[in-house]
Structure 1
Amino acid sequence: MDELRAWQAFDRVNPIGDYRMDLNFAMLFQKIAQWSGYCKELPSLKELLVIDPFPLTDEQRAIETAKADAARSQAYTQSLIATLKSRVKK
């Protein structure tokens, strides 16, 4: 009985069920898409899941979006600098 109660308590904290199955199928789809060459850029697990596993408030989402935009801008700038340096005559 003690072990059953422990598993019941664990299931309340970390349920095993539909969400876990959705996550497994999303990871499986990612691997199949990668192996088959179906997608040039793999979708993120978050895009493949029906339920958002990490819900954010509007404020948190705005901060994350700003960080992602800044990172893309930085990567673009670095790429542009590298391209221009490669075209400069020595």
Structure 2
Amino acid sequence: MSIDELREWQAFDSVNPIGDYRMDLNFALLAQKIISWSGHCKEAPSIKDLLVIDPFPLTNEQRAIETAKADAERSQAYTESLIATLKRRAKK
């Protein structure tokens, strides 16, 4: 192999690494479709449940922040829904 060919392979590997983790995503999508088509599960698992590796790994601190944000958003949505329900009932 010449040095030029080696450099071409290095450039290709930087764009599309050998053992590309996106293949993992493709197989997870395929598995999800097979599970949903088979009828063995009422609800197909999410793609994240089927991935071997986490494509967006978080530290425990980052995960706690994301969880807190999601909890706050759910609480806000619940509060707004409750207020709307109480306003409708008050009008009756």
Which residue pairs with 2:78 in the alignment? 76
Aligned counterpart in structure 1 of residue 29 of structure 2, from 27, 45, 57: 27
1:40-59 to 2 correspondences below 5 Å: 43-59=45-61
Aligned counterpart in structure 1 of residue 11 of structure 2, from 9, 12, 31: 9
Instruction: Determine what percentage of the aligned residue pairs are the same residue.
Output: 79
| C-alpha deviation, 1:14, in angstroms | 4.0
Mind listing any 5+ residue stretches in structure 2 that lack a counterpart? none
**Counterpart residue identity of residue 72, structure 2:** A
Query: Partners of 1:13 and 1:19 in 2: how far apart?
Result: 12
Which residue pairs with 2:89 in the alignment? 87
| C-alpha deviation, 1:21, in angstroms | 2.1
| C-alpha deviation, 1:52, in angstroms | 0.6
**Counterpart residue identity of residue 13, structure 2:** D
Query: Partners of 1:84 and 1:30 in 2: how far apart?
Result: 41
Greater Rg, structure 1 or structure 2?
A: 2
| C-alpha deviation, 1:73, in angstroms | 1.0
Total equivalences in the alignment: 87
| C-alpha deviation, 1:70, in angstroms | 0.8
| C-alpha deviation, 1:6, in angstroms | 3.8
Relative to the length of structure 2, the TM-score reads 0.62
CA RMSD of aligned residues (A): 3.2
